[in-house]
Amino acid sequence: MYSKFLIVASKLDKAGTNITTQLSQFGDFKFYLVDKEIIHTENLDLEKINQYDFIIFASKHKSEKREKTLSVHAPGNWRSADFGGKAGKVCKTSALFLKQIFEKLNENKEKYNLKNYKVTMEATHHGPLIDKPCIFIEIGSTENEWTDRRAAFIIAKTTFEAVKEFRENPYNEVAIAIGGPHYCPNFNKIQLKSNVAISHVISQYAFPLTEEMIKEAIEKTEEEVDLALLDWKGLGKSEQRQEILKILDKLYIRHRRTSEVNKEY
């Protein structure tokens, strides 16, 4: 499915350069180190990027809570484009690759006993906007973590293994995910412990949900989407839930609550 992967990081980003340094010991990766911030499309050489099948952005993650995190997510903006990209547009991504790299990240975090770090998906957010399938893989959330060589090693080993072992899986159901908070606790469980592979996540803070957002999430998922996963308690009030169901029904999209998914994978 994908044979040519490119690792992109910013020279200004301590986590990104830390990850690429660690990755350089894992075989023959192609790197593109950008002079400016990678969340802004205009800072990227799109001709170079378009020569590859799949782009992995290695980056820092910032949060007000300053939690130690290893995270993955698809880039894009459901509404405004305050942090790069284009308003209302998201990047192509692969639910299967996201699932497999998330599983590897959890596995390696345990294997190498990286205590105090939390492994999590994030909702789709920020730029850049490119025309190739891509993901972000990040270390958060302060300079202490960005320069942590053990954390970067785990991200690097995970990336290497995910690329080397990536396979199409006809048994996975493919889903977009709707609702809940930015760090997706209910979707994390499903991505890790079920047969469902999640691509784009539309968090509750991006509501009100529109038909265009649903269509964008589906169109920008590389695999055929089987259903929409709903974090039912994270959909807001009853009227908002009913409006979301109405949109999904109008678009003939099957849906399931996270509580209804078998998590014994």
Name the pLDDT band for 265 (thresholds 50, 70, 90).
low
In the beta sheet, which residues pair with residue 34? 10
Confidence grade of residue 263 (pLDDT, cut at 50, 70, 90):
confident
Task: Give CA separation, 189 vs 58, 179, 196, 258, 265, in Å.
Answer: 23, 14, 10, 9, 10
Q: Going by C-beta distance under 8 Å and a sequence separation of 6 or more, which residues neighbour residue 47?
A: none
Tokens at 100, concatenated: 């497999």
Asked if residue 42 has pLDDT above 90, the reply is yes
Q: Which residue has the higher pLDDT, 64 or 250?
A: 250
Whole-model pTM: value is 0.97
pLDDT in tens, 152-170: 999 999 999 999 999 999 9
Tell me the average pLDDT of the chain. Answer: 97
Question: What would the pLDDT profile of 90-120 be if each residue is shown by its tens digit?
Answer: 999 999 999 999 999 999 999 999 989 999 9
Query: Are 13 and 59 contacting, i.e. CB atoms less than 8 angstroms apart?
Result: yes
Specify the pLDDT at position 89: 98
pLDDT in the model for residue 27: 82
